[in-house]
Amino acid sequence: MNESKIVYKKVSLRSPILIVGLPGIGNVGNLAAQYLVQKLNAKEFATLYSPHFPYIVIATPDGSFRLVSNRFYYYKNKKLSHDLVILIGDYQPASSEGQYEVNDKIVRFFKSLGGKEVYTLGGYSTEDRYVPNPRVFGVTKSKAMHEKLEKAGVVFNIAPSLSIVGAAGMVLAFADEQHMQVACIMGETGMLEVDANSAKSVLEVLSKLLGLDIDLKDMNNLQKETEKFIKELEQASKSAQHEEFPNYIK
């Protein structure tokens, strides 16, 4: 395989909206999108393979294996005016060349499905510690989209200059070139490799934007487990400091 390719089966979609959640900061976007796929029981219909992904084969629980990939799922709901296409995956390309090639292919494929609106999901690190009440930040060029995001609780103007790395930014740029309505939604995160609390905040905003009713019970449980783990780490750290410097800790 010399270049990236998308293998797919044809599906009929009504003005689909693309949601992109690939691995990144705090795995916020990836976790949110995977949770969405699971809770909506979305169906896989396309797979993106690329020589820009790591040369890895993943062993599956049933004893089989598969090549690393990004995967497209669709969700149809008669209560919604649009169908959804959700992109999740194992990795992002490590090189600039790979990022340009893969993300351009993602946008062109979505355009071929009749899509005109895109939300990319990600994390934005503001702290070097756990963030208990994460805000959700956003960027968009559209005034109408800006107002829509703001009503859903998205915070703007988070920094004079903000770099959005990887698919969360590149898909945004390529989709804008194709005259689509685009926005990036980022959950505030800190020290965690997988931040369920931030992913939950992103899902709450996304639910409002898309008119979805998502059961967040499992995400709440994961959040509680994470916070319990953080408290245990903090307690262990305090105990270690007291043992090392007993005369200085009060």
Beta partners for residue 119, in sequence order? 19, 183
The H-or-E segment that residue 85 falls in is strand 84-89
Question: H helices then E strands: how many in the chain?
Answer: 6, 10
**So what's the pLDDT on residue 46?**
98
What type of residue is 198?
S
Q: How confident is the model at residue 245 (pLDDT cuts 50, 70, 90)?
A: very low
Alpha-carbon distance 13 to 84, whole Å? 8
Alpha-carbon distance 23 to 220, whole Å? 21
The distance from CA 102 to its chain's CA centroid, rounded to whole angstroms, is 16
**Residue reference for tokens 């990022």:** 99
| Helix, strand, coil abundance in the chain, percent, nearest 5 | 40, 20, 40
**So what's the pLDDT on residue 249?**
44
Residues 6+ away with beta carbon under 8 Å from 224: none
Question: What are the sequence ranges of the domains in the chain?
Answer: 5-216
The distance from CA 175 to its chain's CA centroid, rounded to whole angstroms, is 16
Here the tokens at position 102 are: 């893969």
| pTM for this predicted structure | 0.89
> Which of left, alpha, beta for 114 (phi over 0: left; psi -120 to 50: alpha)?
left
CATH superfamily label, 5-216: PAC-like subunit (3.40.50.10900)
Nearest Cα residue to 87 out of 52, 138, 58, 46: 46
Alpha-carbon distance 51 to 85, whole Å? 24
**Residue reference for tokens 């010399």:** 2
Summarize the confidence of residues 117-131 as an average pLDDT. Answer: 89
Q: What is the pLDDT of residues 143-176, one digit of tens each?
A: 999 999 999 999 998 766 678 999 999 999 999 9
Q: What is the pLDDT of residues 36-92, one digit of tens each?
A: 999 999 999 999 999 999 999 999 999 999 999 999 999 998 888 899 999 999 999
Alpha-carbon distance 12 to 135, whole Å? 36
